[in-house]
Structure 1
Amino acid sequence: MRSRTTTALLAFGALALTAGTLTACSAPEGAADATTSAAPEASGSLNVACSQQEDFCQAITAAFQAETGIETTYVRLGSGEVLARLETNPGEFDVWSGGQAENHLIADDRGFVESYISPEASSLPEQYNDPTGVWSGFYTDSVAFCSNKAELEKKGLKAPTSWQDLLDPALAGSVAMPHPATAGVGYMAIFTVATLEGGDQAKAIDYFAKLNSNVMQYSKSAATGTEQAGRGEVAVAIALDSDCEKAIQAGYPDLVTSYPEEGTGYEVGAVSILKDPANLANAKLFMDWVLTAKAQDLYADIPSFAAPTNPDAEVGPNVPPQDEVKQVDWDIRLAADSRDAFIQAFESQIASANDAQ
């Protein structure tokens, strides 16, 4: 990348991807039902389910419309919300843009994805492509701790550098975490701790049960916590490093990003075509376009602080360097297969208890 400034839980630990290592660029091998032909000339409209921050959704869809002439609309939804919407209103959207790749696999498992291997997929490192054409990744970032230095100083604390640091009694009611059922980052945090525990679901849920007394709120949106931390409503938010940096640049100078020294999870932000779209050709064009360096160069101008996946794309100022983050082995397939069990355990053992207080 060019820099503008310089199933199942039992099998959890057995199938791990090596995180952080970029392999040679290659297109995924096509599945029998995966379409690889280029999309025809654009016309008509496109409806996008967008699981990124509002300004990113607005800028990307506007840029695509300006370049292609396709009337493009979007609805900003968290990953969990998109999955729920696909169940209740299939056919509402043509394409799903953003959100963790594991959630796109879940959508495919439920019959909501149209496999498509974009001709632009060969531009990406192998780890950013699903071999059967379910998804391709167009940005990446990592789970981090987004802390308000002034609030921590009041408590005599420094920015956390360990998952265990979040359990400090001094942080009672001072941690924000996205709810794993609605925001992908919340589930990423759970899956990260479970990975560090060798795939032990009970130990992971026990950790978040202990953390519960320190959590002020389980927010619907991943970005809510960084804003709460910026305003001093909480001392620490479990968030994406890109969202924390965005909040810093938006005018919250007391915020600082830190990472758990044990290791952290990372996101492959994916795009996929939804089943039986009203505008299939346009959905293919959008997927092709968003994988290009030209489209990903826009991230720096929005600005988005996620890292582009196309090696030829520009990396904007202040984008957290993903190659310097200690990442856990992240098995996207296993993360997808484990989601329902983890969320059910979280809701029954933690969230329900929190509501009863």
Structure 2
Amino acid sequence: MNQNVGGRPVSGWRILAIVEFVAILAIGLVFFYRQQDEALVVYCAHDAVFSEEILNAFEQKTGIKVEPRFDTEATKSLGLTNLIIREQNHPRCDVFWNNQTLGTATLKEQGLLETYQGDGYQRIPAKFKDPDGTWTGFAARLRVYITNTEKLTATRESIEQKLSGPLNDVAIAKPLYGTTLTHFTVLCDAWGLDRLKTWYQSLQERNIQETSGNAGVKNLVASGSCALGFTDTDDFFVAVDDGKPVASLPITVDEHTILIPNSVAIIKGTKRRKQAETLVNYLLSEEVELKLAQSQSRQIPLGDVNWDQVPAEVRELQPYVKNAYPLANLVKEREKVLAWLESEYLK
């Protein structure tokens, strides 16, 4: 059977082929736009109180829906890293916003990250990003001593003297997780694992108080229950804003500060690659680094920004960035420290 199209006969088979082609094209378009409407799944270890505002602004700016997943204060960075590893055969996460870099670098070693060197990657200095482009650091915190000024002055001499005696009124977060794990990894690299073990055993024997996270350390010092603690600048500034009698001093290792950037990476196997790239570029932008600097967490920008828009107390921290302990190539040390701590805590 033939039909006329434009004055020429067209066979029924040809019409059927055209119909099938149009149907397939329509199904493909429906599938494409459905994927565009699906939320971008973001595993986020950065505090929700700060990160949700950033992610909401991204949604409003781009129209890309975001579905964040957070974890607990105590286990968030390690918990989410391990979740990505467990899900590697059927990944749910598209973008990982980690609150540090070493766990993200571990995912690279396991082949779970995709390479992307977009505009955001280009504006971050080389020392804070993976040379292959699998992850990029941004918006950093400093590891600091926090003191209750009614009990202890924040000087090197007074802190060293305090740490040389009984530690009943000194606090540290459990080192199995978070930035305390990064702190211990740096010490392992600088000192060796045996010396680190001896040092930590000494802290425990002198009754140092352990909390589930850095916020707990901050609370103990801010309330006066402890005179001294190990924490990060974001928690310290929370206490400052609450009007607590606190001061801070950067922790140094071999005269280097411990600078802990956030990091962002695209998870291998994402079905929303373009949306993921858009979010990565946004998180690595000057806009976001300024927002995080101006937030209560007072993150330190790593890329070029208009420093006139950065709060004065954050500008004071900028010189410490240049003297930061190099975190590149510490994945093996992190694995050693983690294996030792898991044997201690997870018996």
| Structures share fold, TM-score greater than 0.5 | yes
Report the counterpart of residue 256 of structure 1 in structure 2.
Answer: 247
Letter in 2 for 1:245: F
**Which digits, 9 at most, give the CA deviation of each residue in 1:112-147, with x for residues without a partner?**
212211233222222222110111112122211112
1:158 alignment partner AA:
T
**Quick check: which one's helix share is greater?**
2
Largest Rg, 1 or 2: 2
Q: 1:295 to 1:328 in 2, by over 3 A?
A: closer
Secondary structure of the residue aligned to 1:169 is: coil
Is 1:158 the counterpart of 2:158 in the alignment? Answer: no
Instruction: Tell whether 2:217 aligns with 1:225.
Output: yes
Alpha carbons 1:43, 1:282 under 8 Å: kept: no
Match among 213, 229, 247 for residue 237 of structure 1: 229
1:84 to 71, 82, 85: 82
Counterpart for residue 167 of structure 1: 163
Tell whether the 8 Å contact from 1:50 to 1:98 is kept in structure 2 after alignment.
yes
Q: Give the equivalent residue in structure 2 for 1:308.
A: 301
Structure 2 match to 1:111: 111
User: In 2, distance between residues paired with 1:236 and 1:252?
Assistant: 17
8 Å CA contact 2:85, 2:107 repeated in 1: no
Q: Which runs of 5+ in 2 are unaligned?
A: 1-34
Change (3 A) 1:329 1:138: closer
1:242 is paired with a residue whose SS is: helix
Are residues 1:277 and 2:275 paired? no
The SS at the match of 1:332 is: coil
1:49 to 2:43 alignment: yes
Alignment check: 8 A CA contact 1:171 1:235 kept: no
- In structure 2, relative to structure 1, the CA distance for the partners of 1:228 and 1:46 (3 Å cut) is farther
Any unmatched runs of 5+ in structure 1?
1-40
Deviations 1:262-318 (A, max 9, x none): 443211221111121242221111001111112222224433311112212542342
Partner of 2:196, secondary structure, is helix
Where relative contact order (Cα < 8 A, 6+ residues apart) is larger, the structure is 1
Contact 1:180-1:187 at 8 Å conserved across structures: yes
Aligned partner of residue 308 in structure 1, secondary structure: coil
SS at match of 2:257: coil
Corresponding residue to 1:67 among 61, 67, 88: 61
Distance 1:89 1:114 in 2: 15
Contact 1:160-1:260 at 8 Å conserved across structures: no
Q: Is the 2:146–2:246 contact (alpha carbons within 8 Å) kept by the matching residues of 1?
A: yes
TM-score of the aligned structures, taking structure 1 as reference length: 0.75
Q: TM-score, normalised by structure 2?
A: 0.77
Letter of the structure 1 residue corresponding to residue 343 of structure 2:
S
Alignment check: 8 A CA contact 1:272 1:287 kept: yes
Counterpart-to-counterpart distance in 1, 2:161 and 2:324: 18
Q: 2:193 aligns with which of 201, 216, 219?
A: 201
CA displacement, residues 22-76 of structure 1 (integer Å, 9 cap, x when unaligned): xxxxxxxxxxxxxxxxxxx975421211121221111111111111111212122
Partner of 1:134: 134
Q: 2: distance between equivalents of 1:322 and 1:248?
A: 19
Distance 1:141 1:301, change over 3 A: closer
| 1:343 maps to 2:338 | yes
Aligned residue for 1:217, secondary structure, equals strand
Q: 1:42 to 1:310 in 2, by over 3 A?
A: farther
Q: 1:271 is paired with a residue of what secondary structure?
A: strand
For 2:97 and 2:118, the matched residues in 1 are separated by: 14
Q: What's 2:327 paired with?
A: 331
Whether the 8 Å CA contact 1:57–1:76 is kept in 2: the answer is: no
**Whole-angstrom CA distance in 2 between matches of 1:303 and 1:72:** 23
Say which of 207, 215, 235 aligns to 2:208.
Answer: 215
What is the RMSD computed on CA atoms of the aligned residues?
A: 2.6
Check conservation: 1:246, 1:305, Cα contact below 8 A: no
Q: Aligned pair in 2 of structure 1 residues 96, 233: CA closer, same or farther (>3 Å)?
A: farther
